[in-house]
Structure 1
Amino acid sequence: MVYDAFVLLSFGGPEKPGDVMPFLRNVVRGRGVPEERLAEVAEHYMHFGGVSPINQQCRDLLAAVGADFAANGIDLPAYWGNRNWHPMLEDTVARMRDDGVTHALGFATSAYGGYSSCKQYWEDIARARAKVGPGAPVISKLRQFHDHPGFVGPHVSAVREALESLDPSRRQTTRLVFTAHSIPVSMAETAGPSGGRYTAQLDETARLVAAEAAADLPWDLVWQSRSGPPQVPWLEPDINDHLAILAKEGVTDVVVSPIGFVSDHLEVLWDLDNEAAETAEKLGLGYARAATPGTDPRFVALVRELVLERTAGQPRRRLGTLPIWDDCPGGCCPAPQRRGAASS
């Protein structure tokens, strides 16, 4: 197979206050979410001046990947397209077509399986190509990478650094808390070849990071950024509820590691650096939030390695044992029922 471009696939985010509500309407399009709920979520963005850091983080990653490609002899022009805000993927696909691209490799800013984290990117690609029409380039999504050393390693280093910021005399009462975006229980329990892949992969990543970063400490996998009506069950416990439980159990300090994310975008900054940090302070817990990979050179090299798996038959580097595949099997990760959810 011959590939002639690379495209970064991401979620997108507002870059000025006037973008916030239009962006949120894009996120929840077709779900019937009331404007008052969107206004509540909009306040999270306004707390940061109406700007989500995710777009700049994508620019930084794309620049780092481009430099890494050039240094390693990979001659692929790099593009970037988002699901929910500019640059929209359909606009990027149109530009790729105009540039003569025929078959690109797509890298999504999510390490895991599941509907929103994986399959929806396939749907984004299909929708963008259909809108562009004749001549739209094929885009083949690169595989999930939850157990790749280039993803696990930066999380390990970040946990170690966070631990060093806490009181070493309280090590025996310190706990690691790994977080990821919550999803509806119905999505997490999907039947079929990929059923439960999201939670299983996150559990494997947490185990790998904990074993390397602090094997002497107990750890938990909990959830953040829940959205949707309260009557719809989502994965629990929420990070804030879990911190309260830990405090009652005699835990004095926590390291919170957002292994569900590749960069410190708004859900990390709001849900962890704001809400969870405030919860920990009220509970009297020492609190340190570990960083995400961002543009760590190991993570940038991961992107190159995934490309070389496809273009040069390079062996897969993996630390885990769960099954993975390049193309999702039929029927995997069906879309959730829309009941008025809005994400932060």
Structure 2
Amino acid sequence: MKSDYCIIHGSQNIGSVINRLHKEELLCVIIQDKGSIQDLLQTIQWYKANMNFSIHVALNNDKEKLEVLTRKHPDITYLVFNRPVSMGARINAMATECYSTYFLVVRSDCQLIRFDGGALIDLLRDNSQACCITPVVKNQLDEVVPTLRIPVFNQKNEIKTECECPDGSFESHVVYDTLYPFWGLGLYKRAVFQRLRGMDEQIASSYWQALDFGARSWLFGFPIVATNSLQIKFRSKLNAIEDISYSEGTDRCFAKVLGMKQVDGRNYLERWPYRNKLRLLREEVKPKLPLYKTDYHHLCESFKRP
């Protein structure tokens, strides 16, 4: 990935630079460019005005846009990708470059409408194995989008999920289990994210990247949760639809998630559905067999529904 992007570091005073060399930052905000230049400028300005954390922006190489951004906001860091890359590739690169304990992944076409920082950090600290907190997502009409994902096991050896709506109120603090971070959005624990080797960039689809990451996280004992203490609203979207069609690399997800079976506490390769995927089983599953805490079938049985 290093050869696919360049970094434009924000201008900082010498005190800030020295402080960051000696002390890891608590949190970094990662903004994915997903709209117009006006959307991105508005989003950057909001985070600068409302959150005292460093900001990183991930965007494609657009000279005119970069010129405007670096002129108006020279104090933030830009990761500029030389070619279009997947959502997972962007998040992996940003996680490598941010040097913070936690990182928050958002989009330029969204507005952060609730961020109970203390409660969120406490949730990640209290649950030492937690990997990620995903937000409640609302559309432009303030309607809650069904972003909770519950894993379902079927006899066809496929990975299926059911959708549920979380509580979108502002008064309560409700925590749910969810299989993966919807559209990659959420507050991540950087050390756990990197321990899991991030998202699989050999999978082309953003949906399957997120599902693969979330399922691996759960199977290796690192839960993912959603809470209404973190809420995001799309400025101009009525629907948030995932493309679940199979694409290049989807078989990697199937092999890693369904290629292990646990019997009496012992882990075995599940060969039957993947006789044509033996290379993937040998390379991706077998070396990691001791790391699996459960298999997909048991995960589906024990998963907490809202």
> What band does the TM-score fall into relative to the shorter chain?
under 0.3
| Structure with higher strand content | 2
Higher relative contact order (CA 8 A, sep 6+): 1
| Structure with higher helix content | 1
Q: Given the two structures, how large is their TM-score scaled by the length of structure 1? A: 0.23
Q: Given the two structures, how large is their TM-score scaled by the length of structure 2? A: 0.25
